[in-house]
Amino acid sequence: MTPTATDASTKTSLTGIKPTDTPHLGNYLGAIRPALKLSEQFKSYYFIADYHAITTLRDPVALQQNVYDVAATWLACGLDPERTVFFRQSDVLEVFELAWILSCLVATGQLERGHAYKDALAKGDAAPNAGIFYYPVLMAADILLYDTDVVPVGKDQKQHIEVCRDLAVRFNHVYGDGVLVVPEAHISEDAPLVPGLDGEKMSKSRGNSIPLFASAKELRKVVMKITTGSETLEEPKVAEGTTVYELTKQLTPSIADDMKRKLEAGNYGWGHAKQDFFEALDAELGPKRDVYTAFRSDEEKLDRVLADGAERARSLARATMARVREAIGIARPIDDLRRTVSLKRSDIPM
């Protein structure tokens, strides 16, 4: 048979979004927009990692609200739930079964080297909870459950994907080649950090973030707070490395080219640059803002979209788990039959 090139459309891209905050511009530029771009080429499974969030977030109302904020944000930014399987992690319980199985294959030492765990210790948390320790295992299960080929994530998640790859390789080595798909991280190494208002990495906790769906008026007010140099209007200015220019470059490169030229020419102040950035931002976010508001005010609709995604996710998860259970010697064929068609014991002829 003639070997054929792998058809990208049959590959699966998967990512998880932790609902610990309302998404901001940094999340949009760094994660949401690139993942949605990828979903044009790949089969995609994007989910809200609510069970990962409870390692740090213990406010049930905030968690619930964040889940809806995240769901409405992704839908407003263009996620098509017909095309992308979009769901809550907590709706597919098979993930815990796989996580347990994987935990029996990982050395505790590897988890002790985990960034999240080490960071918690470094921050003075003398006894981080076991969920933080176990975090990479649940994340590996998230990925392996759906036969994932590529995982679009930020650089900070690289180590987690490595743990996941190790686990998939180890599983296949112990239990049989090809049972689990070994995924790859999709990280653009050169992707610059998205700077916040003060030029440091944009983050909600630093208080330097730009909201995605504030009104145009509020958005403009926030943009005007971006830190700039103090040159006079007339002076020529260096664009490279300044926050307003970097943000514009990441948002819309062609507008940034223009901005750079104008800054270098002089007679164009930082206020003008911020106004140009605001206009570009409002042009990109304005139409999404209305879609966001419509989705966010209809939690039942969001629940329906996520429940439909969960249904589709579950059918793939069940197929993977049937394979995994058989490989590890847990499955009896009758068990799988019962799971799939929900027969009661009394329905099964002895």
Amino acid, res. 253: P
C-alpha closest to that of 63 among 45, 90, 81: 90
Give the Cα separation of 178 and 164 in Å (integer).
15
Compute φ and ψ for 84, nearest 5 degrees. -100, 135
Stretch that binds ligand TRP, among 8-16, 64-72, 203-211, 341-349 (CB under 6 A): 8-16
Q: Which of 139, 168, 226, 302 binds ligand TRP (CB under 6 A)?
A: 139
CB of 191 to ligand TRP, least distance (A): 14
Q: Which residue has the tokens 């070997």?
A: 3
C-alpha closest to that of 156 among 100, 201, 105, 106: 201
Which residues are CB-contacts of 254 (< 8 A; sequence separation ≥ 6)? Answer: none
45 or 245: CB nearest ligand TRP = 45
Footprint on residues 40-79 left by ligand TRP (CB under 6 A): 49, 52
Give the tokens for residue 88: 């809550």
Binding mask 97-136 for ligand TRP (x = CB under 6 A): ----------------------------------------
CB of 116 to ligand TRP, least distance (A): 8
Q: Which of 71, 145, 153, 210 binds ligand TRP (CB under 6 A)?
A: 153
CB of 126 to ligand TRP, least distance (A): 23
Identify any residues that bridge with 12 across adjacent strands, giving them in sequence order.
43
Stretch that binds ligand TRP, among 55-63, 100-108, 139-147, 337-345 (CB under 6 A): 139-147
Q: Which of 50, 69, 94, 142 binds ligand TRP (CB under 6 A)?
A: 142
57 or 291: CB nearest ligand TRP = 57
CB of 47 to ligand TRP, least distance (A): 8
Instruction: Report the b/e string of 206-232 with b at 16+ CB within 10 A.
Output: eebbbebbeeeeebbebbeebebeeee
Give the Cα separation of 18 and 70 in Å (integer).
9
User: Where does this chain bind ligand TRP (CB under 6 A)?
Assistant: 14-16, 18, 49, 52, 139, 142-143, 151, 153, 157, 160
